Chain A
Amino acid sequence: MSPELRSAGDPSADRGWRGARPAGTRPPDATRARARRLSITPYLFLFPGIALFAVAVLYPILQAVHMSLFDWKIVGSATSEFLGLENYRRAFADEHFWLALGNTAFYAVATIIPQIVIGLAVALLLHRRSPVQPFLRVLYYLPVVTSWVVVSLLFRFLFADQGLVNFVLGTETSWLADRWTGMLAISALGVWKGIGWSMMIFLAALQGVPRSLLEAAAMDGAGPWQRFRVVTLPAIWAALAFVTIMLVIGGFNVFISVYLMTGGGPAGRTDVLLTYMYEQAFGSLEFGYGAAIAVILTALVLCLSLIQLRMFRDRNGGFAE
Chain B
Amino acid sequence: MTLIARGARRTWLATTLRIGILSLGALVMVAPFLYMVSISFTESTYVLTTPPQFIPDPATLANYEQALMTQGLPLAFANSLYIAAISTAVSLLISSMMAYAFARFSFPGRELIFRILLVGLMIPAVMLLIPQFILAKHLALLDSHLGLIVFYVAGSLALNTLLLRGFFEAIPGELDQAMQVDGANAWTRYWRLAIPLARPGLATAAIFTFFASWDEFAWALTIINTPELRTLPIVIRLFAGAGNNAVQWGLVFAASVIAIIPVIVVFLAFQRHFVQGLTSGAVKG
Contact = CB atoms under 8 A, between A and B. Distances in A.
Contacts of B237: 149, 153, 260
Contacts of B180: 20
B143 to A, nearest CB: 14
B260 A59 contact: no
A17 B104 contact: yes
B263 interface: yes
A154 B250 CA distance: 11
Contact of A59 (B101, B135, B264): B135
Contacts of A139: 26, 29-30
Contacts of A19: 104, 172-174, 176-177
A298 interface: yes
A154 B117 contact: no
B95 to A, nearest CB: 6
Contacts of A155: 32
A268 interface: no
Contact of B217 (A72, A149, A192): A149
Given A58-B116, A140-B26, A147-B259, A164 B52 contact: yes
Interface stretch (A81-89, A92-100, A105-113, A238-246): A238-246
B128 A57 contact: yes
Interface in B136-188: 137, 150-151, 153-155, 157-158, 161, 172-174, 176-177, 180, 186
A294 B127 contact: yes
Contact of B155 (A3, A12, A57): A57
Interface in A27-55: 38-39, 41-43, 45-46, 48-50, 52-53, 55
Interface string A135-162: 0111111110111111101111110111
21 contacts: A4-B111, A12-B106, A18-B103, A19-B174, A45-B100, A46-B98, A49-B94, A52-B153, A56-B150, A64-B130, A122-B22, A139-B30, A154-B253, A167-B51, A200-B275, A201-B283, A204-B279, A238-B285, A278-B126, A298-B127, A320-B285
Given A137-B275, A140-B25, A167-B51, 4 more contacts: A57-B120, A139-B26, A147-B236, A294-B129
